[in-house]
Amino acid sequence: MKYSRLSIIRICILIGAIFILGFQLKPAFDIPKTWDLAEIEQFLLPTADSTITVTPISESYYYSIPEMKVYKSYPIRLTGLEENRKYIDSLKALNPVDYFQNEPRTEEDLVRLGEEVFNAPIGLFDYSEEFFKELNESIKSAEIPVSKNTFPYYTYVVDEKSKVKVGVFSCAMCHTRVMPDGSTIKGAQGTFPMDRRDGVAGEIFLKSLSKDKLAETDKNVRTGRIALHKAPWISHSSQMELDTISAARIIAYLKAIPPGVMLRHGSNFNQPTNIPDLIGIKDRKYLDYTGLMMHRNIGDIMRYAAFNQGFDFLNSYGGFIPGGIDFKTLPKPGEEGLQRYSEMQLFALGKYLYSLKPPKNPNSFPAEMVKKGELVFKREGCVTCHTPPLYTNNKLTPVDGFTPPASHYKAYDIFDISVETNPELALYTRRGTGYYKVPSLLGVWYRGPFGHSGNVATLEDWLDKRRLDEDYVPTGFKPAFAKTMAVKGHEFGLEISKEEKAALIAFLKTL
Amino acid sequence: MKTTFMIGLVMLFALSTNWVFGQDSWKIDSTQIVFHISNAGLDVEGTISGISGNLKFSKNKLDKSFFAIEAKAGTIQTGIKLRDKHLKKQDYFDVERYPSIKIESKKIIKSKDGFESVCAITIKEQTKDIVIPFTFIQTNKKAEFKGSCSLNRLDFGLGEKSLVLSETVKIDFWISASLVTN
């Protein structure tokens, strides 16, 4: 059998094409499946009330939701009005840049693209000059910390030519910290007081409202808050209040939340959550202050992001669906503008979060002082839970009022002692598991406020035994309508001398 | 015949009790049990109290001496209230289910510096043999038993492996006792 020269060339081209195509189709990365219900079952801790079954949406539902696109974001510059007009015009001239149009090929690509996912907003609205003016006003009225000439929590997005949109609800919105010198730390406990901003804006809106619209407004705002915070199986007063709460009262609650703390969906008005530091997340075994989700591998980071960027609203909590129609029925996939991250986007986000490094520590203390502080740290027993080198034992501590079921001792890492802090976040909210995780002390120098609800502003306050008194005025989050409040529990290092306390804090600020 | 048999039985009983209790019996007056464990390189000291038990000891009848002592695990104190609370929980002493720590001698011998006893120590229903060297000083009807030993906490399910907490626990004890019978 003889082949012509042309046939041989054709065969060679064909073989070459198959080889190239095959090479391109071969997945470059081993990407875990995000919505894997068998994995999710282990990943999610049960609610504190174990009679409530949490059922996430099915795999087919999740994967039938359209994927979102991650477009290039641009900073929001805090300039004069005229200069801003020119800036917006320059953005309008740009073409949209879809970051995931080409698949990443290397780890470096993944980390770089992951940062863009971190920055990518999941909510967009059209830019208007009104927005820009209101933003500048709210920075003043809600005392929002901003970096040098930039509003670092939102971005501008160009997703179609000659249109500029404002992007909100990115990971970066809550996990960007503005330091006193105006520099920013990505991934750290954020400083955007979103709730306070909403409270201030809501107050202005409410004042402008005619009396006949008040009842309707109350109802609408309440419905939104039920979706955000309600756990109907819990009969605690904080949950019952949601059924009748007025807009004015909600506004008062919102205004009480300081930077670094958040009225996270699934938490509640007087049980907000401290915003966690994502730097070092690779070494954490549990996510959320209540340890709601396990972190066994990058797949769990992908699941965490998927759930917390919207899909936990579609969980059924014993029949209650926070994001459901009438809180009962799932919307059709793709309805109400629901989008999901692609698997590659979530994988890249995980890689980026794993790559986060703490900023250079500017603190400098005398070596003797730090050494002494370390000794105090060991002597006072801190080292048992905040064990080096991670400065956490990565365990869950049951709160007062919760007895771990026998099965939990095998399934989870339980450090079987309550440190007697306020148990409400862990008991009376949707995110409540009956536990608080032991937080790492790495990076406390750039963090604050402290405690699972951010009740004290500084380490000095945390180690001040006056916080245990009923007439104490919390320096961090102080619940609305409370003039004073004891910040109870975690009674370690409260009886040491002033000198030892200074040394201990110096040591902690070197971590 | 019947009477002879009864006398014989009584004598046998008397002989057997003498065989067992034919050494000094001591009443525990006061005790001190102090343990030490290294945590992150620092020595943590704690105490356990609530000691009771039988103490039979004659230095010249060692083969017939023995002791069976119990301590109350729930009395543990280390100077940090919350740590003590934790030590009583399931992952350490689990005092609700296992309120007592038991030590029973199996054999007592003379040693160069005093005495040595092979003892069965039981914590959380885990029993291990350990050697406890001790001294005995008698002054009239009073005596002091003093000694120390070490054990591995993991042998008894006391906590788990740790980066900072040592597995070895050193125990020092001191018992003051009064002579009851001999």
Superfamily covering domain A367-508: Cytochrome c-like domain (1.10.760.10)
Determine whether A129 is exposed, middle or buried from the number of CB atoms within 10 Å of its CB (0-12, 13-18, 19+).
Answer: exposed
Say which CATH number the domain at B120 has: 2.40.128.110
Token code pair at residue B158: 């006391």
Provide the pLDDT confidence category of residue B4 given band limits of 50, 70 and 90: low
B73: containing domain = 24-181
In a domain, B73, yes or no: yes
Q: Residues in chain A whose beta carbon is closer than 8 A to a beta carbon of chain B?
A: 375, 378-381, 383-384, 387-388, 409, 414-417, 419-420, 491-492
Contacts of A416 in chain B (CB under 8 A): 86, 89-91
- What does the pLDDT read at residue B9? 47
Separation CA B176–CA A220 (nearest Å): 76
User: How many Å lie between the alpha carbon of A389 and the closest alpha carbon of chain B?
Assistant: 9
- Model pLDDT for residues A453-488, shown as the tens digit of each residue: 999 999 999 999 999 999 999 999 999 999 999 999
In a domain, B7, yes or no: no
Map residue B161 onto helix, strand or coil: coil
The secondary structure element, H or E, covering residue A14 is helix A5-25
Crossing angle (nearest 10°) for helices A247-255 and A194-208 = 150
Separation CA A53–CA A41 (nearest Å): 11
- Model pLDDT for residues A326-343, shown as the tens digit of each residue: 999 999 887 767 889 999
What is the number of domains present in chain B?
Answer: 1
- What does the pLDDT read at residue A320? 96
In a domain, B126, yes or no: yes
Write the residue in A383, A414, A419 that is nearest to B39 by C-beta: A383
Separation CA B123–CA B72 (nearest Å): 11
Token code pair at residue B50: 């609530």
User: Using the beta-carbon criterion (under 8 Å), do B164 and A383 form an inter-chain contact?
Assistant: yes
Pick the closest to residue A376 from A444, A463, A456, A301 (CA basis). A463
- Model pLDDT for residues A393-440, shown as the tens digit of each residue: 999 999 999 999 999 999 999 998 999 999 999 999 999 999 999 999
Separation CA A168–CA A198 (nearest Å): 13
Pick the closest to residue B129 from B147, B154, B111, B103 (CA basis). B103
Give the global pTM: 0.83
- The answer on pLDDT for B33 being more than 50 is yes
What ipTM does the predicted assembly reach? 0.71
C-alpha distances (whole Å) from A18 to each of A10, A14, A22, A103 are: 12, 6, 6, 20
- What does the pLDDT read at residue B163? 86
- Output the 3-class SS for A274-336: ECCCCCCHHHCCEECCCCCEECCCHHHHHHHHHHHCCHHHHCEECCECCCCECCCECCCCCHH
Domain boundaries along the sequence of chain A:
39-65+278-344, 367-508
User: How many Å lie between the alpha carbon of B59 and the closest alpha carbon of chain A?
Assistant: 42
- What does the pLDDT read at residue B13? 45
Give every residue of chain A whose pLDDT is below 50, as ranges.
Answer: 1, 21-26
User: Using the beta-carbon criterion (under 8 Å), do B90 and A387 form an inter-chain contact?
Assistant: no
Cis peptide, bond prior to residue A389, ω within 30 of zero: yes
- What does the pLDDT read at residue A267? 94
- What does the pLDDT read at residue B60? 87
- What does the pLDDT read at residue A10? 62
